[in-house]
Amino acid sequence: MSDLRIRAAGPEDLDTVLAFWKVAAEGTSISDDRDGVQRLVDRDPEALILAERDGRLVGTVIAGFDGWRCHLYRLAVHPESRRQGIGSALLSAAEERFVRLGGRRGDAMVLQRNETAHHAWRAAGYTPEEHWRRWVKPLTD
């Protein structure tokens, strides 16, 4: 893993990240556009964490901290690079960020149908809380 570089995304990475998510991420979000990701990076320049190998993007995670809770989104590893410790390295970087900011517990949004992700999250020490349900309301058309 010494050839893996973990770093925060910058504005120059946004188009690459969006293209990467189309290949590596499960599902889409209303915020998966250039404006949405730009707002994230502008508001919190360290939240979008990238993993690169040989100058190529191989993984992402969003580690958002609102001062109260630590939220993990878009943990994605390129299909050809899975099971090589990239997801674990990204989660370690995210968890270190949370601890540095005073966070106490990380939570992740994981699609119910994404069994592969369930195994990865469990292996990283996360457990589902079945008594919670996510409620959403689009704020724009």
Lowest mean pLDDT among 1-10, 33-42, 75-84: 1-10
More confident of the two residues 25 and 31: 25
Lowest mean pLDDT among 45-59, 70-84, 121-135: 121-135
**Mean predicted confidence (pLDDT) in 3-28:** 92
Which of the 8 DSSP states describes residue 29? -
Residue 65, phi then psi, degrees to nearest 5: -125, 125
**Where are any strands of DSSP class E within 54-115?**
56-65, 70-77, 106-108
Q: The pTM is what?
A: 0.91
The token pair at 49 is 């964490």
Predicted confidence at residue 86, as pLDDT, reads: 95
Reduced DSSP (H G I as helix, E B as strand, rest coil) percent helix, strand, coil of the chain, to 5? 35, 25, 40
The token pair at 109 is 């949004």
More confident of the two residues 139 and 42: 42
- Write the pLDDT tens digit of every residue in 11-23: 999 999 999 999 9
The token pair at 115 is 């069994």
> How many whole angstroms separate alpha carbon 65 and alpha carbon 5?
22
Q: What SS3 state is found at 25?
A: coil
Q: What SS3 state is found at 10?
A: coil
